[in-house]
Amino acid sequence: MTKRVFQVWKGSNKFILGGRLIFGPDARSLPLTLLLIIVPVVLFCVFVARHLRHEFSPYNAGYAILVVAILFTIYVLILLFFTSARDPGIVPRNLHPPEEELRYETTVSADGRQTPSVQIPRTKEVMVNGVSVRVKYCDTCMLYRPPRCSHCSICNNCVERFDHHCPWVGQCIGLRNYRYFFMFVSSSTLLCIYIFSMSAIYIKILMNDQQGTVWRAMKESPWSVVLMIYCFIALWFVGGLTAFHLYLISTNQTTYEKLRYRSSHSRSIVYNRGCPNNFLEVFCSKVKPSRNNFRAFIEEEPPRVVTLPSTTRESGEAEDENGPRRQKVEDDLDIGEDLINLSQRCNAEEANNNQPHHTLDIDHERAGSIRTEARHGSWGRRSGSWDVAAATDVRESRSYATAKEARG
């Protein structure tokens, strides 16, 4: 049965709904993030916003506080979903290394043997906005990473315009979800400020109604105090993260580039188009479509063989083994048979003429050994050590037989 791309995906991502949604390998942290958002809002609606419904004129204007809290929370959750459940900009892997970048090199060993090998340059230079930028080759994805692309060790993917991997959303932050990530963080900051402010206002109202001190008002509504403390702590994280990414957007940098190339000023200005254009690029440009179709069916690709250039020495040896060497072995087999036949014929003639002093004594074991050595020599490289002696024996035997016939 043909499988889909997401079923054989080599990255560490997790897919649901048949590959329609993609998460990082640490998506288990998402429930915790949801609880950190939903639980404070529920407590705020129950213990604070409910009591503020009739505290503003006109009489029911306080309902807006409750409605705003609910709608704004839904908006934050939608941004969280867009950040964590979509392709962040994964670069598709290659099935084979790029052939146009392959380099064939030959190494010579101590014994003179040449061994061809295939190598790929680790880096190459590309031009970005008129500036030469070095890009690296990724052994895992078998491609040269595009500029501003990096390989995430957690997701095991190369991600375009890689910013960082966020464990709170369980996904890489890259080209296709950075906008939603920043909007999620900044919206969470505004939500914290909103809950903190409304809780403080409720404490102020209790002080005015009861003509008491702040401590008495805090005892009257302890959940307001808890929410204020929680939002104050959360603001240090989400608020600080919002301020940091505002700076990155204004200079058109990523978190990865800022931390890795902090001392390289030339690299930071390659992509900087000015503060207004940098903000327009992040928030007003069209989001590029995904380069991966995770629901597509896999097409079987025939295996490809990379042909290495053969050396002259190896080609000559191969020719010798397949051509002249085989012919040489066959000739030696014929020599062994001729020696046996010649020995039998000469001995028969000597027996008829009663001339024992002319007997040709040829060792049949030696003739048989020639045949055996010939067969054995076809598997080795030094099988030519006996062919001269064998040919000499044949010539001597044949000349002796010719002289004997002439005398007879």
Residue 22 pairs in a beta bridge with 15
The confidence score (pLDDT) of residue 312 equals 44
Highest-confidence range of 99-103, 272-276, 302-306, by mean pLDDT?
272-276
Give tens-digit pLDDT for 174-200: 999 999 999 999 999 999 999 999 999
pLDDT of residue 334: 52
User: Burial code of 354-378, b = ≥16 C-beta within 10 A, e = fewer?
Assistant: eeeeeebebeeeebeebbebbeebe
Which ranges of 290-323 would DSSP assign to H, the alpha helix?
A: 312-322
Share of the chain above pLDDT 90, in %: 46
From CA 95, how far away is CA 151, in angstroms rounded?
A: 17
Mean pLDDT of 53-71: 84
Angstrom distance (rounded) from CA 136 to CA 150: 9
Averaged confidence pLDDT in the chain: 78
Bridging pattern class, strands 103-108 and 21-23: unpaired
Q: Which of 166, 172, 192, 346 is catalytic?
A: 166
pLDDT band of residue 371 (cuts 50, 70, 90) is very low
Give the pLDDT band (50/70/90) at residue 348. Answer: low
pLDDT value of residue 207: 87
Output the DSSP codes for 125-144.
Answer: EEEETTEEEEEEEETTTTEE
Q: What average pLDDT does range 13-41 have in this prediction?
A: 94
* Mean predicted confidence (pLDDT) in 369-388: 38
pLDDT score, position 343:
54
> What pLDDT is stored for residue 185 in this prediction?
97
Out of 55-59, 126-130, 274-278, 399-403, least confident range = 399-403
Instruction: Please report the pLDDT score of residue 210 as a whole number.
Output: 74
206-264 tens-digit pLDDT: 888 877 788 888 888 899 999 999 999 999 999 999 999 999 999 999 999 998 877 66
pLDDT of 255 reads: 94
pLDDT value at residue 302 = 61
Structure tokens at 113: 């043997």
304-345 residue pLDDT tens:
555 555 544 444 444 444 444 444 444 444 545 554 555 555
Which residues, at least 6 apart from 338, have a Cβ–Cβ distance to it below 8 Å? 394
pLDDT at residue 401, as a whole number:
43
| pLDDT-above-70 percentage for the chain | 69
- pTM comes to 0.70
pLDDT of residue 124: 87
284 is catalytic: no
| pLDDT at residue 283, rounded to an integer | 94
